Amino acid sequence: MALSHNLNLASQGTSLKALFSGYLIVVAVGYLMAVVQIQLTHGLADGEYGLSIDDIVYSYYGNRTNSMLENKLHGSMKPMATDEERDAIINWIHQGATEEAYEEQGIQDIFESKCIVCHNADGGGIPDYSEFQNIKDRALVDTGVTISALARVSHIHLFGIAFIFMFVGLIFSLAAGVPKPLKVVAISTPYVFLLVDIASWWLTKQNPNFAWLVIIAGGSMALSFAFMWIVSMYEMWILPRRGTDTRDALLDQ
């Protein structure tokens, strides 16, 4: 049993614990940033703070009674223009969003002074509004995220998150105090729900009833992350080194 005795988190040397803990802390901060980012982009999709089912439906399926442009002007793009300017743009959308009216009603001036600072040719992935067609496309009914954006975010998530859970799971697999079946479940849950999560985005894009699956999958991943994180940290820094207390002496028999 000498091997299994050494292969546990509590009895690792301080430098390995520092390496593992540094990684776990940075990844946890990254996770919190992801939550903030989700709140700021998807959370505002329905114009109100906080992530709701409506936000998810609007983000993936779209709010098909309104245009993407109008929805964004009620949502995350609200602070980018004054109320009058937003009203002017929304009026223009409701009137059919023609190019003549765009030039004549001063809509072009609003876009040039308020939007093109960010929405330009090198805007880093966001649409370029110096091209009228790009505005026109978004003045039509909102069908949510585009397929190409969904494919891009999907592959980034699959690669990136699988990588995170590889290392978090590897560290956690050295925890000695967790029964094996629970350990296997905790380690595989994030992978299963990562696939379910990505699948649920594509399903919600087709049918808004799948939005709840996005929440369940995201929540399950977060739960298993938190569980593995807390257990790993606890075993490294709070649990005494194995072999130095009576509990471990008993376990080793």
Residues at the contact surface with ligand HEC, assessed by CB under 6 A: 41, 68-69, 72-73, 76-77, 80-81, 114-115, 117-119, 126-127, 138
Min dist. Cβ of residue 90 to ligand HEC (A): 10
Distance set, CA 82 to CA 49, 78, 117 (Å): 19, 8, 16
The structure tokens 């001063």 sit at 106
Q: Which residue carries 């009620």 as its tokens?
A: 74
In the complex, the smallest distance separating the C-beta of residue 29 from ligand HEC, rounded to whole angstroms, is 21
- Characterize 241-253 residue by residue with b for buried, 16 or more Cβ atoms within 10 angstroms of its Cβ, and e for exposed: ebeeeeebeeeee
- Find the shortest distance in angstroms from Cβ 129 to ligand HEC: 7
Q: CB-wise, 21 or 76, nearer to ligand HEC? A: 76
Closest contact distance (angstroms) between CB of 157 and ligand HEC is 16
Residue 103 CA to residue 9 CA, distance in Å, equals: 66
Nearest to ligand HEC of 126, 249 (CB atom): 126
Distances (CA, A) of 51 to 42, 45, 219: 7, 9, 12
Please give the C-alpha separations between residue 145 and each of 9, 10, 140, 149, in angstroms, as whole numbers.
43, 46, 14, 6
Give whichever of 69 and 213 is closer to ligand HEC, judged by the CB atom: 69
Q: Which residue has the tokens 């977060």?
A: 222
Q: Which of 139, 231, 148 is nearest to 183 (CA)?
A: 231
Phi, psi of 48 (to 5 degrees): -120, 150
d(CA 185, CA 173): 11
Q: Which residue has the tokens 């001036």?
A: 109
Q: How far is the CB of 101 from ligand HEC (least distance, A)?
A: 16
Min separation Cβ 216 and ligand HEC, Å: 24
